[in-house]
Structure 1
Amino acid sequence: MKNLTVLFTAATLALGANLAMARDLGPDEALKLRDAGTIQSFEKLNEAALAKHPGATIEETELEEEYGRYIYQLELRDNKGVQWDLELDAKTGEILKNHQDD
């Protein structure tokens, strides 16, 4: 039983540490990063995402800092009604994730 308690505690701490490594950035902070040239313009990032799914519409966007890297997350809906989740490196515009939402 003691080993199970230790294992559960370690797993909980590891999960908490991973959650603490990502943080959502508010609009003011995001605009400051864009204006400073730290990240690309949102228009440019949106264009890169939409190029992967022509005709899609952007339903939601979010900027996060994960492990010192700025990640721009988007939810798109294509013209067939399929929802897509994309993640881009906000500094380079590189698409890091592009998968159909379940």
Structure 2
Amino acid sequence: MNRLTAFFIATLMALGAGLAHARDLNNDEARKLRDAGTILSTEKLDAIALAKHPGATLTDTELEEEYGRYIYQVDLRDTKGIEWDLELDATNGEVLKNHQDT
């Protein structure tokens, strides 16, 4: 195998590994993490997200494990009908992302 082929294969493997950085957690996994005190309850996380946009409505939520961190993703629709994407650190409620959906 020549060096160019080896480099190409190594690059593809690295890219493939990078794509697998996040995985969705199911309800059972989330419940176990909450019960162990690893993450906050969804009620607390929802309240933190809703406090950023008073009067907004939750449209979707998802818990992911990304690079060893638990990220709670929230989609909101505010009182003006504007959609918002928020990401919170599920372990402490820190807002990591809060931007208007485009």
Q: SS of the residue aligned with 1:97?
A: strand
Q: Deviations over 1:68-102 (max 9, x none)?
A: 10000000000100000000000010000000000
Match of residue 41 from structure 1:
41
For this pair of structures, how many residues does the alignment match?
101
Letter of the structure 1 residue corresponding to residue 25 of structure 2: L
Q: State the distance in 2 between where 1:27 and 1:94 align.
A: 21
Structure with the greater alpha carbon radius of gyration: 2
- The reply on whether 1:59 has 2:63 as its aligned counterpart is no
Q: How does 1:16-27 map to 2 (within 5 A)?
A: 16-27=16-27
Closer, same or farther: CA 7–33 of 1 in aligned 2, 3 Å: same
CA-atom RMSD in angstroms: 2.1
Moved over 3 A (4+): 5-15
The letter of the residue matching 1:76 is L
SS of equivalent to 1:79: coil
Distance in 1 (CA, whole Å) between partners of 2:67 and 2:75 is 22
Question: Within 2, Cα distance between the matches of 1:99 and 1:8?
Answer: 37
What 5-or-longer segments of structure 2 have no aligned partner?
none
TM-score (norm 2): 0.87
What is the distance in 1 between the residues matched to 2:58 and 2:49?
Answer: 9
Change in CA separation of 1:80 and 1:15 when aligned onto 2, cut-off 3 Å? farther
2:89 corresponds to which letter in structure 1? D
Looking at structure 2, the residues matched to 100 and 10 of structure 1 have their Cα atoms a distance apart, in angstroms, of 38
CA shift in 2, pair 1:85/1:8, >3 Å: farther
- Counting only pairs closer than 5 Å after superposition, residues 64-83 of structure 1 correspond to structure 2 as 64-83=64-83
Q: C-alpha distance in 2, partners of 1:59/1:14?
A: 35
